[in-house]
Structure 1
Amino acid sequence: MSAAKRLIVCGGNGFLGSRICKYAVARGWDVTSIRQAAPYRSGEPHWDAVTASAAPPPWAHKVTWERADILRPSTYAPLLKGADSVVHSMGILMEADYKGVVRGTESPLAGLHKAFSPSVNRGVDPLARAAGEDIAPPNPKDQFSYEVMNRDSAITLARHASDEGVATFCYISAIAAPPGLPARYISTKREAEKAIEDHFPQMRNVFVRPPFMYDNSRKFTLGIAAATGVGTLFNGLTKGAFGGLMGAGGIKPLKVDTVAEAVVEALADETVKGPVEVAQIDELATRAWRNSML
C-alpha cells in the first residue's frame, strides 16, 4: 500500500482552510494545519467561528494542528519537510493592524483608511531575502497589508516549499475584488500568482480563484450570497457591461464546501495547474462528489 499523501495547509483554521483539511482527511491524507501564532495559543480553530458548533467535528482529531508565524519562515519551514502538497489560504480581505484591532489599540476604521490611502507599496521583496529570513516590512503596522499578507507571505511560503522539494503548491487567490475594496486587493493576488509561476516552475502551481463563499454556519454570508446572486443575474442580463464595477459582486457565489472539495480534487489531479476559475471549481467539486459516491 502506498503512503498517504502529506498535505500542509497554511490557514487550515479558517473558513475555507478548515474544510480543505476536512476533505483531505476524508481521502486518508496526512494533514497538518498551520495557524498564525499570535494572538492565539492553540493551533486548532475556534470551531464556532468556522462551523455551526463550538465542538470539534469528528474528523478534527485526524489533523495535526500547529502554530507558526507566516512572516517568520523559520517557524514553519521544518513543518514542510516531506510534504507532497502545500496550500496557502491566509489572505486578508481588509487591511488592518490585526494585533492592534484585537488589543483595542487600533480601530477597524484605520484599516479602511489604510486600504484607500495613496501610499507606496507596503510590502517587501521576499525573493531578495535569505532563506528563513523574516519578511516583516520596515513599518510594523504594515505587516497586515495586502502586499505582505496576500502576496509576500505566499511567495515566501512557495519558496520554502520549493526548497523542500514539494511537488504541488496551491495558492488560494480570488476571481475578483468584492465591490468597494481597493484594486490592490486583487492586484497583489495576481502579483503573487505570477511570481510563484515565474520563480518556482519545478512545482505544479495551482491558483484557485473562488468567488464569494458562503455557508449556513456563517449566517451573514447567506444574505451577501443572495445579493451576489442578484448581481450575477444582472450581470448576465447586461452582458457584463457593468462587470468591472461590480467585481466579485457580479459573479455567482459558491458554497465554501464546494471550493474546498475542488481544492482537494485539484491537488489530487496532476493535470490541474495554473488558474482555476469558477466553472472549473464547480467541475472539480462535482467530480470529487461523484467519486466519493462510487
Structure 2
Amino acid sequence: MAAMAASSVVASIASASSLLHPHQSFTSRVDAPSTGLSSMRCFRTDQLHHLTASIGTQLHRPCSSGRQVQCTYSDYSNSPDYRSSPIDVVAEVKSQKILVLGGNGFVGTAICKLAVAQGISVVSLSRSGRPSILESWVDQVTWISGDVFLTEWDSLLDGVQAVISTLGLIGPNDQMERINADANIIAVNAAKNAGVPKFIYISVHDYNLPEFALNNGYFAGKRKAEAEILSAFPSTGTILRPGFIYGKRRFNGVDIPLDIVGEPLEKVLAATASLTRPLQNLPASDLLFAPPTSVDEVALAAVRALNDDEYFGIFTIEQIKDMAKV
C-alpha cells in the first residue's frame, strides 16, 4: 500500500509538472526576423528598462550623440544540464541635440555644463570657440568658432532639436542693435526654416523703466528679438528675462566672483520685500528692488524649458526662479 501511495504521489507531481511546463524547455532566441527581436533594433529607453527588469540585462551606455545600448541575456531551460547561450541585442538610442549660441560666455557655459550633465549632445557657436576652462565636461561639447552672420546654418542645425541663444552685447548703440536684435533674428529664422522645434532666448528684465529709456540698442534690440521668437515659435519659444545675473564670471582667464555681491543682495531684498513692495511700482524702481538671479538658476530654467513643452512664452525673474526649483 505504501508503495502504491508513493507511486500515486510521484504520478501527481509529474502530471502537475507537465501542466506547468508543457514543453521540456524553451529558449528566448528567435530566428524568424518577422516575429522576434533582430540583432539590431531601436528601442526607447523605457522599453529597455522593461526588458532588463523582466529578463536581467547588462547595459553599457557610452556617452555620445547617438548612444549605443548593449544588453545581454541568456536562454532558459529547465533541463538538468542547463547551459547559458547569450544573445546580444544592440540598440541605437539617440540623445537630444541642442545648439547654444554664445556657449562659451558666462551664461552659455553654465547651460552647456548642465546640458552635458543631463546627457544632452551640445554644440556651441561663438566667435572665440572653445573656452579656457579645465573641466572634463568641456571635452563633451562640440565647440565651433564662427560668426552668426556668416554661418552655414543648414549644416549647423542638422539634427538639432532646440536652439538656446545667449547672444547679447552692451556697448555702442549700433553694435547693440546688431547683436541683440539682428544676430538673434537671423538665428531665429534659420532655426524656423530648418524645422528646429524649439527656440529659447536669454533676454533681460526691463527694470520697470519708462518707455523712452527702453528705446536704445540694448533693450530695443532684445525686444525685437523677442517679437521674432514669439512670431516664429508661438507655442515652443521661450524667453527668459532675468535681472542681474551673478556667479563666477570668467574674464580674460580670471574668475570674477559676482556671487559675493549678488547672493547677499538677493537675501537682503527677500528679507525686506514687505517694506519695499509699495515702492516697486515707481518708474525704474526695479533698478534697486529687482532680485538678482544666479547663473545656475538661469541655466536650470533654460534646460527646463528645453525638456518640458509646458514652458513657453515670456518668464519673469520670479518665474525663472520657480522653474529652477522644479
Could you tell me which of 141, 161, 185 is aligned with 1:84?
A: 161
Partner of 1:46: 132
How far off its partner does 1:70 sit? Answer: 1.6
- 1:64 equivalent to 2:133? Answer no
Partner of 1:167: 197
TM, length-normalised to structure 1: 0.68
150-159 or 188-197, larger mean C-alpha shift: 188-197
Deviations 1:112-171 (A, max 9, x none): xxx4xxxxxxxxxxxxxxxxxxxxxxxxxx4x2x21111111111010011111000011
Q: Is the 8 A contact 1:229 1:250 kept in 2?
A: no
Q: How many residues align?
A: 224
Secondary structure (helix, strand or coil) at the match of 1:22 reads: helix
Q: Structure 1 CA distance, aligned partners of 2:318 and 2:234? A: 27
| CA-based RMSD | 2.6
Partner of 1:51: none
Q: Is the 8 A contact 1:12 1:35 kept in 2?
A: yes
Q: Structure 1 CA distance, aligned partners of 2:245 and 2:261? A: 11
Partner of 2:296: 257
Q: Is the 8 A contact 1:73 1:156 kept in 2?
A: no
Q: Structure 2 CA distance, aligned partners of 1:81 and 1:249? A: 44
How far off its partner does 1:221 sit? Answer: 5.1
58-67 or 241-250, larger mean C-alpha shift: 241-250
Q: Is the 8 A contact 2:208 2:283 kept in 1?
A: no
Q: Structure 2 CA distance, aligned partners of 1:245 and 1:165? A: 40
- 1:158 equivalent to 2:188? Answer yes
Q: Structure 2 CA distance, aligned partners of 1:252 and 1:231? A: 6
Q: Structure 2 CA distance, aligned partners of 1:251 and 1:62? A: 36
Return closer, same or farther for 1:187/1:231 CA change in 2, 3 Å cut-off.
Answer: farther
Higher relative contact order, structure no. (Cα contacts within 8 Å, ≥ 6 residues apart): 1
Instruction: Specify every segment of 5 or more residues in structure 1 that has no aligned partner in the other structure, as ranges.
Output: 48-55, 97-114, 116-141, 288-294
Structure 1 segments (4+ residues) deviating >3 Å: 224-236, 240-243, 246-249
Secondary structure (helix, strand or coil) at the match of 1:239 reads: helix
Return closer, same or farther for 1:91/1:236 CA change in 2, 3 Å cut-off.
Answer: farther
How far off its partner does 1:73 sit? Answer: 3.7
Q: Structure 2 CA distance, aligned partners of 1:70 and 1:243? A: 38
Deviations 1:181-236 (A, max 9, x none): x52222321221112212x1377111011111111452245335545765674795
Question: Structure 1 vs Structure 2: percent identity of aligned residues?
Answer: 29
Determine which structure has the larger strand proportion and give its number: 2
Q: Is the 8 A contact 1:91 1:150 kept in 2?
A: yes
Instruction: Specify every segment of 5 or more residues in structure 2 that has no aligned partner in the other structure, as ranges.
Output: 1-43, 45-92, 249-254
Q: Which amino acid aligns with 2:200?
A: C
Q: Is the 8 A contact 1:261 1:285 kept in 2?
A: yes
Deviations 1:237-256 (A, max 9, x none): 25234653244442111211
Partner of 1:223: 261
TM, length-normalised to structure 2: 0.62
- 1:18 equivalent to 2:112? Answer no
Partner of 2:314: 275
Partner of 1:192: 225
Return closer, same or farther for 1:235/1:95 CA change in 2, 3 Å cut-off.
Answer: farther
Q: Structure 2 CA distance, aligned partners of 1:235 and 1:71? A: 47
Q: Which amino acid aligns with 1:223?
A: V
